[in-house]
Amino acid sequence: MKLASRTESYTKRVALVLQGGGALGSYQAGVYETLASSDYKPDWVAGISIGAINAALIAGNSPQMRVEKLREFWRTITTPTTWPVWISDLVNGASLPFDLGKQISALNALIFGQSHFFAPRKPSDWWFGHTPTSYYDTSSLKSTLERLVDFDRINSQEMRFSIGAVNVRTGNFAYFDNAETEIRPEHVLASGALPPGFPSVEIDGEHYWDGGLVSNTPLQYVIEYHPRRSHLVFQVDLFPARGPLPGNLNEVAERDKDIRYSSRTRAGTDILRQLHDLRHSINMLWERLPNDLRTGPEVALINEFRCVTTMDIVQLIYRPERALGQSKDYEFDRPTMEARWAQGLADAQETIMAAPWLELMPPELGARTFDVRAKSPTGDTSKASSNIISQRVVALRGKT
């Protein structure tokens, strides 16, 4: 599919913002595959949790290898673990009822962990008064990152890279940015260290947990970073705000999780848009002030608060065609991963073809938000996108 071209007059830098969401993160990989083949290749990638891992795979590889390394990572961690071969064949071959297959996949992750990602602690870890602070060990993820990510490339600052985590001792949010910090595998592990499943990660004498405990999206960091620059931000979220009325307890738990994560993201996005509009309005007032009124301490704050940059925030939200259950973010079976990847690719293609951000921005606005695919309360997929998804799933399976 030929994607819409970027006009020469549209000069905003491109940022890719990746939310946390565990196994749902292959949707983000599909979005990136589309961006990588478009005129909107990211200059800056920021992420939290699984978004931080995807961000590292992107920033830590050459442009021609980024999609392949993303694909290798997602294939690696969706490799069947300890189940007998016949059970894995049933799940991966979709021979089981939809819900049962999902439950088996999630149960497999809980009991046995995921290949090259995390593993349950050994019984001996709990003996002789030992008190582990997590149920799983993530040392295998560190090895996977060291194999697939070139941290020297990240630290070369060829692409801006920022990931978020929470200081366990202070409760404060922290960002690890390659413009300010030498990035190591530990920084990526820290951003995805969700308790009590995963252990905290020590960095320079402090311990960190998953950034999603405080904020599940790094959008604010990208928009508010000084000095501000105008950006086109692709914000990839993994939990939809809108959805059908639950019909059972499993669907209730899923909607609860969706609402909790998406509401924080949506509220944060709305506040940031309003704040940036306010900064823009203050700048318009500043421009009308006579020069003799622009000096003095009473106007210093106004000068500091004003802003001339503009932001276009494009929301790409994973909206499955049916309820997946509350375990969807730890279901790592291969076919589901491929379907999520394909949907991300298709959604991004549809969004770039529409390209609503190319419309002239009204002068009174500082920021705009777009969600091309927000079509119905259930997030039904269009026929065109469904065809793209089906074709892409077949293509992905042919490469495994």
Which among 26, 38, 49, 115 is annotated as catalytic?
A: 49
Please, which residues have CB within 8 angstroms of residue 65's CB and are 6 or more apart in sequence? none
Token readout for 45 is 């990638």
- In whole angstroms, give the CA distance from residue 203 to residue 51: 20
Residue 46: helix, strand or coil by DSSP?
strand
Helix intervals (H) in 244-327: 249-288, 300-305
182 vs 162: CA distance, rounded Å: 11
Assigned token pair, 148: 């697939």
What secondary structure letter does DSSP report for 192?
T
**CA atoms of 258 and 318, how far apart (whole Å):** 11
For 291, phi then psi, to 5°, come to -60, -35
Whether the CB-CB separation of 69 and 153 falls below 8 Å is answered with no
89-96 contacts, C-beta under 8 A, 24 or more apart: 91/333, 92/333, 92/334, 92/335, 94/335
Residue 235 sits at φ, ψ, to 5 deg, of -100, 110
Q: Phi and psi at residue 52, in whole multiples of 5°? A: -70, -40
Provide the residue type at 31 as one letter: V
Backbone angles phi, psi at 49, to 5 degrees: 60, -125
The active-site residue, picked from 210, 237, 277, 347, is: 210
**How many other C-beta atoms are found inside a 10 Å radius of the C-beta of residue 300?**
11
Q: How many CB atoms lie within 10 A of CB 378?
A: 16
CB contact at 8 A, 101 and 89: no
Helices (H), 138-243: 139-148, 151-155, 185-191, 219-224
The distance in angstroms from the start CA to the end CA of the chain is: 23
210 a catalytic residue: yes
Task: Enter the tokens of residue 352.
Answer: 């770039």
Rounded Cα distance between 279 and 293, Å, is: 19
Indicate which residues carry an active-site annotation: 49, 210
